[in-house]
Amino acid sequence: MTATDQQRADLLALRGALGSFATGVTIVTTRVEDADVGLTANSFSSVSLDPPMLLWSLAKTSSSHEAFMAAGHFAVHVLSVDQEHLSRRFASKDVDRFAGLPLERGPGDVPLLTGCAARFSCRSAFHYEGGDHTIFVGEIVGFDHTPTPPLVFHAGKYALAAPRAEPLGAADPARVPPTGFAEDLLGYLMGRAHHQLYDRMRSELAELGLGEREHFTLSVLGISDRRTLDEINAFTAYTGVTLTREAAADLESRGLVRCEPAEGGPRLSLTDAGQQALLRLVAAAKAIEVDALADLSEEEGRLLRHLLKRVIRTTDPGIPDLWASRQERS
């Protein structure tokens, strides 16, 4: 390693260490000589309550450094979890960062962005020396704030602040039986959550005179039709439910699917009545989902889906991709 390589490695290590401190993400804006200036910064810190003050810092080499040194006012916007695109835009070179954005105006005619978790209008109070950066301290002269979840930056990646996973009525050792089958067992939680959701679907199915097997069959054909019995079962075998020849004949006699003779065995498709039944079941599933997620924020709901998808990917025994097969055939 040359001295320069070593320095570069040290710098990378330092960046990594500093990046282990999670932060929110802000956009700082000002207006100087009739021009709006703004940039993404995560070096924000609150300083004082009386008088109310905050700080952020900016590289002396930044093209906006001069503007902020000259500015009498600036504004700090704490970004919400839905504003990652703004964070990226205000960190990009060679784009008109304010183009098309709805703007309000704060003290000093400073541009104020909308939809943020919080906004602070500041009077420039101090500029402090900070190595290759200048530390800007502002006195807060106005602010507003919404309870939107914030965007988080950690270890070079965007993230979100999730609640800590407190045990919910578990963890009491008196409640753990000798087999160790505690309420925290993932298989139990997954099974219980699934069956509680599916219990409502079963009522819906019962009204249509259908069972789980028929539900899975209609669902597969609704995504990708003209399927043989074996193909349908390849998609659903992992559920332990199998579509038999008799059950298929029953679905046909009830007018929900039609069978076309083909090489390799008859191929099943949905009839219009089958399509209608499936539409009703999907609508029911969506209503069940809305109710099931009523206690979670939108972001928590997204997070639950994300974690389930990762478990599905990890435990996938090699089930064919049903949706991809749709694309191939369409």
Residues in 14-33 at the binding interface with a second copy, rule: CB under 8 A: 14-18, 20-24, 26
The enclosing H or E element of 59 equals: strand 52-59
Q: Which is nearer to a second copy, 196 or 244 (CB)?
A: 196
Could you tell me which residues are beta bridge partners of residue 41? 26
φ, ψ (nearest 5 deg) of residue 113: -80, 160
The residue count of the chain comes to 330
Footprint on residues 77-96 left by a second copy (CB under 8 A): 78, 84
- Strands 103-105 and 73-78, sheet pairing: unpaired
Q: Which stretch binds a second copy (CB under 8 A): 27-35, 98-106, 137-145, 261-269?
A: 137-145
Q: Answer yes or no: are the C-beta atoms of 132 and 126 closer than 8 Å.
A: no
* DSSP tag of 80: B
26: nearest Cα among 47, 43, 13, 49: 43
- Find the shortest distance in angstroms from Cβ 276 to a second copy: 10
In the range 285-304, which residues lie near a second copy by CB under 8 A?
285-286, 288-289, 291-296, 299-304
For residues 84 and 252, which CB has a smaller minimum distance to a second copy in the complex?
A: 84
Does position 53 interact with a second copy (CB under 8 A)? The reply is yes
Q: Would you count residue 327 as binding a second copy (CB under 8 A)?
A: yes
Q: Which of 38, 106, 111, 150 binds a second copy (CB under 8 A)?
A: 150
From 240, 253, 263, 328, residue interacting with a second copy (rule: CB under 8 A): 240
Map the footprint of a second copy across residues 154-213, applying CB under 8 A: 154-155, 157-166, 168-170, 174-175, 177-181, 183-202, 212
The span from the CA of 24 to the CA of 43, in Å, is 9
Buried b or exposed e, range 110-133, using 16+ CB within 10 angstroms: bbbbeebbbbbbbbbbeeeeeeeb
Q: 212-223 vs 229-236: helix axis angle to the nearest 10?
A: 110
Query: Binding to a second copy by residue 317, rule CB under 8 A?
Result: yes
Question: Does residue 99 belong to the site contacting a second copy (CB under 8 A)?
Answer: no
C-alpha 188: how far from chain center: 25
Considering only 87-95, 100-108, 147-155, 257-265, which stretch makes contact with a second copy by CB under 8 A? 147-155
* Minimum gap (Å) between residue 263 Cβ and a second copy: 25
